[in-house]
């Protein structure tokens, strides 16, 4: 039996290996979809750090995603000769600043107030993106071409899907692993305990406001990275990247996957993208299904897919404990 401590590392290695062989197995169409899934997986993971770990329900996560997406698009158009690394770095820097400033304003409130405020700020960013036509392209959006990737000793052509897929897999994969590592650090544990009992954390001498601001900024930057890859993947960026719908998307992914575990939202991203691709072929009432899934999950399966998997696993292993639904809390010990 493998030591329990090593399991996450083996799981990560397994995911990377699986991702590495996918271009051989999948056709162009599905590889495209898989790239999208990986990008959204990071977006959902960053959102879950807020919702699942810190217990902050934000309706404004798309402002970071869209900010990252627009920074890449605008900088690639206006700064000639900008490298791929430069554009991605700019996106992360930009969203870090935005996260820090908005976080300072928004985090003064909690619970439903916080949700309402983040929604209003998201609407503000959306309004700016729509009205500021000269920079963001307004309703028309911005088209970009992926620059080549320079690794110092060699340059890789990024025009093809397969090479971009591997690039996404490595960078986004590394970012997801970093997020996972973050939850294991003292900082990540602080956030988790703050959700459980903030008073006590304050009493123990932690400055909970600063911890929360750091987390908010961090998740914003991570979402910005996901947004940057969103633009690079579609080679196009429109105002929909920064709209409230983009927040709803990530909320649904996270919720469908389950907020209780770190890996749940990634599964949610997979299910969401696949469902959306197939359902929107069959019906144009996709938002109706989205709403129905939402209501159904909230009422009957609040733990998401993770809860179902856990239940099935317990059924087979013969155990009937439900302690696993608190996996996030367990991770703390």
Partner 1 sequence: MSDFPVFFLHGLAYGGLLFLVSAGLTLVFGMMNVLNFAHAAMYMLGAYFSYTILQMTGQFWLSLMVCPLLLFIIGAVIERFLLRRVHVFGHVHELLLTFGLAYIITEVVKWVWGNFPLAVNVGGFLGGTVEIFGITYPLYRIFIFASAALVGIMMALILYRTRLGIILRAAVNDSEMVNALGFNVPRVFMGVFAFGAALSGFAGVIAGPLLSTYPGMANEILIDAFVVIVVGGFGSLGGAVVASLIIGELQSFGVLLFPKLSLALVYLLMSVVLIIKPSGLFGEKQ
Q: What are the structure tokens assigned to 297, written together?
A: 């999950």
Q: How many residues bind partner 1 (CB under 8 A)?
A: 37
DSSP for 249-305, please give it.
HHHHHHHHH-TTSSSHHHHHHHHHHHHHHHHHHH-S-HHHHHHHHHHHHHHH-TTHH
Q: What string marks each residue from 131 to 160 as x (binds partner 1 by CB under 8 A) or -?
A: x-----------------------------
Residue 285 near partner 1 by CB under 8 A: yes
Residue 57 near partner 1 by CB under 8 A: yes
Q: Is 132 left (phi over 0), alpha (psi -120 to 50) or beta?
A: beta
- In the complex, the smallest distance separating the C-beta of residue 183 from partner 1, rounded to whole angstroms, is 19
Footprint on residues 237-256 left by partner 1 (CB under 8 A): 244, 248, 251, 255
* Closer residue to partner 1, CB minimum distance, 126 or 218: 126
Q: Of the candidates 253, 183, 239, 220, which has an alpha carbon nearest to the alpha carbon of residue 36?
A: 253
Q: What is the CB neighbour count within 10 angstroms for residue 317? A: 8
- In the complex, the smallest distance separating the C-beta of residue 302 from partner 1, rounded to whole angstroms, is 6
Residue 108 near partner 1 by CB under 8 A: yes
Residue 263 near partner 1 by CB under 8 A: no
Task: With beta carbons less than 8 A apart as the criterion, state whether 68 and 226 touch.
Answer: yes
Residue 331 near partner 1 by CB under 8 A: no
Give Cα separations from 306 to 16, 106, 195 (angstroms): 21, 30, 21
Q: What are the structure tokens assigned to 308, written together?
A: 């179902």
- Adjacent-strand bridge partners of 236: 143
Kindly tell me which residue out of 10, 145, 302, 323 binds partner 1, with binding defined by CB under 8 A.
302
Kindly tell me which residue out of 77, 123, 161, 187 binds partner 1, with binding defined by CB under 8 A.
123
Task: With beta carbons less than 8 A apart as the criterion, state whether 103 and 210 touch.
Answer: no
Kindly tell me which residue out of 12, 31, 119, 274 binds partner 1, with binding defined by CB under 8 A.
119
Q: What are the structure tokens assigned to 142, written together?
A: 């911005």
Q: What string marks each residue from 4 to 43 as x (binds partner 1 by CB under 8 A) or -?
A: ----------------------------------------
Q: How far apart are CA 241 and CA 231, in angstroms?
A: 9
- In the complex, the smallest distance separating the C-beta of residue 88 from partner 1, rounded to whole angstroms, is 29
* Closer residue to partner 1, CB minimum distance, 13 or 105: 105
* Closer residue to partner 1, CB minimum distance, 281 or 284: 284
Parallel, antiparallel or unpaired: strands 155-156 and 149-150: antiparallel
Residues in the chain: 333
Stretch that binds partner 1, among 49-57, 76-84, 138-146, 165-173 (CB under 8 A): 49-57
Q: Of the candidates 59, 37, 93, which has an alpha carbon nearest to the alpha carbon of residue 233?
A: 37
Using CB under 8 A as the criterion, which residues of the chain lie in contact with partner 1 when the complex forms?
A: 51, 55, 57, 105, 108-113, 115-117, 119-121, 123-124, 127-128, 131, 244, 248, 251, 255, 285, 287-288, 290-295, 298-299, 302
């Amino acid at each position: 039996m493998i030591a329990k401590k090593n399991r996450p590392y083996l799981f990560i290695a397994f995911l990377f290996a699986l991702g590495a062989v996918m271009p051989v197995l999948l056709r162009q169409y599905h590889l495209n979809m898989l790239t999208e899934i990986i990008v959204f997986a990071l977006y959902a993971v960053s959102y879950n750090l807020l919702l699942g770990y810190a217990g902050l329900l934000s309706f404004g996560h798309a402002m970071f995603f869209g900010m990252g997406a627009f920074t890449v698009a605008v900088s690639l158009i206006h700064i000639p000769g900008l490298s791929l690394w430069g554009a991605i770095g700019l996106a992360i820097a930009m969203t870090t600043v935005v996260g820090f400033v908005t976080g300072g304003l928004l985090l003064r409130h909690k619970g439903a107030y916080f949700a309402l405020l983040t929604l209003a700020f998201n609407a503000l960013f959306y309004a700016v993106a729509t009205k500021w036509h000269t920079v963001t392209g307004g309703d028309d959006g911005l088209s970009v071409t992926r620059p080549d990737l320079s690794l110092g000793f060699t340059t890789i052509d990024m025009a093809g899907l397969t090479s971009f897929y591997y690039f996404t897999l490595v960078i986004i994969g590394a970012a997801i692993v970093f997020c996972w590592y973050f939850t294991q650090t003292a900082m990540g544990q602080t956030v988790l305990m703050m959700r459980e009992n903030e008073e006590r954390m304050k009493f123990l001498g932690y400055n909970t406001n600063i911890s929360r601001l750091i987390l908010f900024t961090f998740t914003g930057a991570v979402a910005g990275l996901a947004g940057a890859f969103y633009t690079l993947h579609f080679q196009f960026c429109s105002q929909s990247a920064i709209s409230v719908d983009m927040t709803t998307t990530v909320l649904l992914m996270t919720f469908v996957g389950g907020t209780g575990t770190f890996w749940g939202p990634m599964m949610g991203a997979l299910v969401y993208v696949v469902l959306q691709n197939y359902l929107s072929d069959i019906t144009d009432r996709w938002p109706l299904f989205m709403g129905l899934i939402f209501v159904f999950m909230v009422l009957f399966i609040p733990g998401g897919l993770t809860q179902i998997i856990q239940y099935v696993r317990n059924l087979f292993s013969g155990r009937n404990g439900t302690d696993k639904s608190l996996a996030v809390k367990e991770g703390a010990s």
